[in-house]
Chains A and B, each alone.
Chain A
Amino acid sequence: MKKKLTLETAPLSRRTFLHQAAAFGLLAGIKHLLPAYARPLTGGLTPPVAGSRPPTVYELTIAETGLRFGGRHARATTINGTVPGPLLRFREGEEVVLKVTNRLKEDTSIHWHGLLVPFNMDGVPGVSFPGIRPGETFTYRFALRQSGTYWYHSHSGLQEQTGVYGPIIVDPAGDDPVAYDREHVVVLSDWTFEDPHRVLRKLRKMPGYYNFQRQTLLGLLRGEDLSLRDRLRWGRMRMDATDLADVTGATYTYLMNGLAPEDNWTALFRPGERVRLRFINAGAGSFFDVRIPGLPLTIVQADGQNVQPVTVDEFRIGIAETYDVIVEPREDRAYTIFAESMDRSGYARGTLAPREGLQAPVPEQRRRPARSMADMGMDHGNMQGMDHGNMPGMDHGNMPGMDHGNMPGMDHGNMPGMDHGNMPGMDHEGHGMQMGAMAGLAPPGTLPPAVPHGEDTHGPGNAAVPMMTRSRLHEPGIGLGNDGRRVLVYTDLKSMEPTIDMPPPTREIELHLTGNMERYMWSIDGKAYSEAPEPIRIEKGERVRITFVNDTMMEHPMHLHGMWMMLENGHFPHLPRKHTLIVKPAERLSVLVVPDETGPWVFHCHILYHMDMGMFRVVEVTEPATAEVSQ
């Protein structure tokens, strides 16, 4: 059986439609031809009927198409004529066939973000396959080993910025543990009318090009932002405390399901229903802070994996992350879905409404926050993160697997700024005895200790070296958590199912996220991919702890293909499985990986422009060398 997406998404071919629309003088009224889920007014998705289906064939055509965003004409790279592309809906266990045809003048590719597929179906040109040449069709074929909300996007050049992305839902093989009456997909993204290569060239020449929210003399005189003393401290370090996003609302239009804020994407509901919203951040360079004033948000899935429900008022969604949220609007009124960019330079917005034509007030944008010394791993006296009394993740009494004796790098004697005398909850008794036993790796789930940065400053490609890096998983992130709202933090995430069979890791790989903001250089361990093309090797089945250390003062959404990263947030055996993780400035964050598919997998920062400057590595998963063979 062949399921033609074109039939589902657009009843007429685009050309015919445009022709007829023009003939009737309707062209001016067309905002965007969109897939069903993304249309300006939508009743929601229609989940497939339970039960097995024959293999599904999808046909996706990538081409350049004229579109409109917020009333302005644009040339976009589309999938089947739309931005975002069509919703791909699969069922766990199913084998699917996806025929991707390239109608562009350049190579293209599709990567199935978060799906565990054989490496040669992963869609990274030069790593997984050669890419799809103009005029060619590449057939992806894989079986689905998981369920949840995911997405897909081009891994070629900067095509993701020009529109090559779309949502994926994989329905569980059995019953969905999440009960809901209605569901909507909410794809958040950022659009620029500029050629993204031009955007990148500008950033290379002037990294602060798009920052129109700097600290100014006028601001100082008005008493806004940082004090003179703090400004001087930042100046001494040659760092910009307002560097929150490289590309901002100065060029971006923030989109919700391909619609600009004024186009007001509207999702219908009936009061009293449990509505499932599947949020996907398909932005190329924007983190979003999402809230729906008047509705608590119950997070039920993160990166496609079910988590124990946690109710918050707001959550930050990093680039390439997904969150499934349940809301229960009871009143017969409209609610605004508000997704503010992290640097507050703009927002994407839509409406949840019981019927057409309703709108709720759009909240005012909050003020752009400024970086603090904590983002530089300095100023321990004022460091929120070092307030041990308030650290949920550092609740030593309740921390399973927090064996101080086994913590590598937790050299208590040498930790500057770690004032042991003032550490509440830190049981010093017995430490001395356990210090000697620090040989092995900490048990799974252990939060990384605070560690002073080593000697290696990673060369001229790295401008900042935080004095101390530490876990910041319990922090909501810059600009959040100060206004009384309950904000999701990574330590809130607990997987639904326990990971019981998880012996301690056997190896730890430490990777430093590095960059030189002044010269727009982005790298790992101080080297762009072109300078360090040799892969990081992991054997299939090996239990590896990867520790990310963010030396820069920007957040990086780090994405690993081909395997789950189990975030060590103190909740073993309920560690959340993630495909993308926000690593905050001066943060030390660790994950466990146990690869089960061989092949080259890429690992990169999902800020498109950072990846394109070389913040990218290949992780090669090899067959384990068995004892018989190696002899």
Chain B
Amino acid sequence: MLNTIRLLALTGVLLLAAGPFRPVEAQNLPRPRFENENIYGFVLFDVFEAAPGLEGSPLAWDMFASIGKEYDRFWIKSDGDLSTSQRGGEMEFQALYSRLIAPYWELQAGARFDVAYSSEQTRRRGHLVVGLEGLAPYWFELEPALFISQDGDVSAGLTGSYDLFVTQRLILQPRLDAVAAVQEVETWGVGKGLNSVGLSLRLRYELAREFAPYLGVSWSRLFGRTGDLARAEGEDTRTVGLVFGLRWWH
């Protein structure tokens, strides 16, 4: 019996000695935590502007807010314009889950909610969204997305922009917005094929990186059946106007 205990004790000592040596003080310490594990938030209003020369003198915005870590984030995106001279406006809100799938690309999926209102009526609809957000070669910011509405209508959108540093603080940003649809949705003024293209050019001055007033020009055109539907409503299919606004983030 005594021999067995001795043998067991000896085996125990040997096993302890054989294991990877880790001094007692080092065990059970909480592992150091670094900043990359902390959640951080980001809000950017890329467009936050007024266009007094355009019909209805709209106030327009295009923003996102994100919260999360490096790989997984939750996004809210919104854009729209509100008329200041009459009751009317269109707004889009998206709630997305975003996953970094490549060094420069995030895959995003979630829901989109549209509201369009005028003095006569207010319409709402929902979409499912799958899209990408990232940086293409030559520093183009691209945001392609596919939408399926609650009624099964499919459409696609592309936003692209580029920051051209004229000086260290003066930055020229050309921007493209395009929308295309697979089906016609008359109540929303959507025709089949390419619906609209918007081009704009904004020259901002970064007083601080986070705070940059800008001046710009904005041009847009509605195409095909979408244009026809707009004309039937008495709207212009082409708009050109000066804009001024503020790009800011936090």
By a beta-carbon cutoff of 8 Å, the part of chain A in contact with chain B is: 119-120, 124-130, 197, 200-202, 204-206, 209, 212-218, 232, 235-238, 460-463, 516, 518-519, 521-522, 528-530, 533, 537, 598-600, 611-614, 616, 620, 622-623, 625, 629-630
Asked if B32 contacts A128 (CB within 8 A), the reply is no
A537 and B139 CA atoms in complex are apart in Å by 41
Asked if A622 contacts B20 (CB within 8 A), the reply is yes
Residues of B within 8 A of A216 (CB): 165-168
If A217-B166, A238-B136, A530-B33 are given as contacts, then 11 extra A-B residue pairs at C-beta distance below 8 Å, sorted by A number, are: A126-B32, A127-B29, A127-B32, A129-B29, A202-B209, A204-B40, A217-B165, A518-B104, A518-B135, A519-B103, A611-B34
A609 and B231 CA atoms in complex are apart in Å by 56
Asked if B103 contacts A235 (CB within 8 A), the reply is no
Residues of B within 8 A of A521 (CB): 36, 70
Interface string of B22-37 (1 = CB under 8 A from A): 1101100111111111
Asked if A460 contacts B165 (CB within 8 A), the reply is no
A214 and B42 CA atoms in complex are apart in Å by 24
| Distance from A541 Cβ to chain B, minimum over Cβ atoms (Å) | 12
CB of B2 within 8 Å of the partner chain = no
Known A128-B26, A206-B209, A209-B209; contact A463-B104, beta-carbon cutoff 8 A: yes
Residues of B within 8 A of A461 (CB): 70, 103
Known A216-B166, A537-B20; contact A614-B34, beta-carbon cutoff 8 A: yes
* Pairs A–B under 8 Å by Cβ, sample size 13: A127-B32, A201-B40, A216-B166, A217-B165, A460-B100, A460-B102, A460-B103, A462-B103, A519-B100, A521-B36, A528-B34, A529-B34, A620-B22
Residues of B within 8 A of A206 (CB): 209, 249
Residues of B within 8 A of A197 (CB): 35
B residues 107-136 near A (Cβ < 8 Å) are: 135-136
Within 8 Å by CB of B25, from A120, A209, A630, lies: A120
Asked if B36 contacts A613 (CB within 8 A), the reply is yes
| Distance from B73 Cβ to chain A, minimum over Cβ atoms (Å) | 11
CB of B207 within 8 Å of the partner chain = no
A612 and B31 CA atoms in complex are apart in Å by 13
Asked if A238 contacts B34 (CB within 8 A), the reply is no
Asked if B138 contacts A235 (CB within 8 A), the reply is yes
Asked if B137 contacts A236 (CB within 8 A), the reply is yes
Within 8 Å by CB of A205, from B17, B166, B249, lies: B249
Asked if A599 contacts B34 (CB within 8 A), the reply is no
| Distance from B131 Cβ to chain A, minimum over Cβ atoms (Å) | 17
CB of B101 within 8 Å of the partner chain = yes
Residues of A within 8 A of B101 (CB): 460
A461 and B70 CA atoms in complex are apart in Å by 9
| Distance from B201 Cβ to chain A, minimum over Cβ atoms (Å) | 14
CB of B14 within 8 Å of the partner chain = yes
Asked if B32 contacts A599 (CB within 8 A), the reply is no
A426 and B25 CA atoms in complex are apart in Å by 53
A516 and B100 CA atoms in complex are apart in Å by 12
A631 and B169 CA atoms in complex are apart in Å by 69
| Distance from B37 Cβ to chain A, minimum over Cβ atoms (Å) | 5
Known A528-B34, A625-B18; contact A130-B29, beta-carbon cutoff 8 A: yes
A200 and B37 CA atoms in complex are apart in Å by 13
- Closest Cβ neighbor of A221 among chain B residues: B166
- Closest Cβ neighbor of A203 among chain B residues: B35
Asked if A124 contacts B23 (CB within 8 A), the reply is no
Residues of A within 8 A of B32 (CB): 124-127, 529, 616
Which of B26, B30, B138, B164: most chain A Cβ within 10 A?
B26
Asked if A218 contacts B166 (CB within 8 A), the reply is yes
Residues of A within 8 A of B29 (CB): 126-127, 129-130
A124 and B137 CA atoms in complex are apart in Å by 41
- Closest Cβ neighbor of A209 among chain B residues: B209
- Closest Cβ neighbor of A612 among chain B residues: B35
Residues of B within 8 A of A533 (CB): 31
| Distance from A518 Cβ to chain B, minimum over Cβ atoms (Å) | 6
| Distance from A428 Cβ to chain B, minimum over Cβ atoms (Å) | 39
| Distance from B161 Cβ to chain A, minimum over Cβ atoms (Å) | 15
Interface string of B53-88 (1 = CB under 8 A from A): 000000000000000001100000000000000000
Asked if A629 contacts B20 (CB within 8 A), the reply is no
- Closest Cβ neighbor of B26 among chain A residues: A600
- Closest Cβ neighbor of A609 among chain B residues: B35
A413 and B71 CA atoms in complex are apart in Å by 39
Asked if B20 contacts A212 (CB within 8 A), the reply is no
Known A127-B32, A216-B168, A629-B17; contact A120-B23, beta-carbon cutoff 8 A: yes
Residues of A within 8 A of B135 (CB): 238, 518
Asked if B137 contacts A238 (CB within 8 A), the reply is yes
Residues of B within 8 A of A616 (CB): 32, 34
A201 and B43 CA atoms in complex are apart in Å by 12
Residues of B within 8 A of A598 (CB): 21, 23
A130 and B164 CA atoms in complex are apart in Å by 49
| Distance from A410 Cβ to chain B, minimum over Cβ atoms (Å) | 30
Residues of A within 8 A of B136 (CB): 238
Known A216-B166, A216-B167, A460-B100; contact A623-B34, beta-carbon cutoff 8 A: no
Known A215-B165, A518-B135, A530-B36; contact A463-B103, beta-carbon cutoff 8 A: yes
| Distance from B107 Cβ to chain A, minimum over Cβ atoms (Å) | 11
A130 and B137 CA atoms in complex are apart in Å by 46
Residues of B within 8 A of A235 (CB): 137-139
Asked if B103 contacts A530 (CB within 8 A), the reply is no
Residues of A within 8 A of B100 (CB): 460, 519
A528 and B32 CA atoms in complex are apart in Å by 12
A623 and B18 CA atoms in complex are apart in Å by 9
Residues of B within 8 A of A237 (CB): 137
A521 and B104 CA atoms in complex are apart in Å by 12
- Closest Cβ neighbor of B208 among chain A residues: A209
- Closest Cβ neighbor of A125 among chain B residues: B32
Residues of A within 8 A of B40 (CB): 201, 204-205
Asked if B35 contacts A613 (CB within 8 A), the reply is yes
A521 and B34 CA atoms in complex are apart in Å by 12
| Distance from A305 Cβ to chain B, minimum over Cβ atoms (Å) | 27
Asked if B42 contacts A205 (CB within 8 A), the reply is yes
A619 and B71 CA atoms in complex are apart in Å by 26
Asked if A623 contacts B21 (CB within 8 A), the reply is yes
- Closest Cβ neighbor of A614 among chain B residues: B36
Asked if A629 contacts B18 (CB within 8 A), the reply is yes
A612 and B167 CA atoms in complex are apart in Å by 32
Residues of A within 8 A of B31 (CB): 126, 533
A202 and B30 CA atoms in complex are apart in Å by 28
Within 8 Å by CB of B22, from A236, A528, A622, lies: A622
- Closest Cβ neighbor of A598 among chain B residues: B21
Asked if A599 contacts B36 (CB within 8 A), the reply is no
Asked if B35 contacts A200 (CB within 8 A), the reply is yes
Residues of A within 8 A of B33 (CB): 126, 530
Within 8 Å by CB of B138, from A128, A232, A622, A630, lies: A232
Residues of A within 8 A of B168 (CB): 212-214, 216
A516 and B35 CA atoms in complex are apart in Å by 16
Residues of A within 8 A of B167 (CB): 216-218
Residues of A within 8 A of B14 (CB): 629
Residues of A within 8 A of B34 (CB): 528-530, 611-614, 616
| Distance from A159 Cβ to chain B, minimum over Cβ atoms (Å) | 13
A218 and B167 CA atoms in complex are apart in Å by 6
A422 and B220 CA atoms in complex are apart in Å by 58
A212 and B249 CA atoms in complex are apart in Å by 18
Cβ-closest 8 pairs across A and B: A126-B32, A623-B21, A463-B103, A235-B138, A612-B35, A629-B18, A614-B36, A613-B36
Known A119-B23, A613-B35; contact A516-B103, beta-carbon cutoff 8 A: yes
A612 and B29 CA atoms in complex are apart in Å by 18
| Distance from B26 Cβ to chain A, minimum over Cβ atoms (Å) | 5
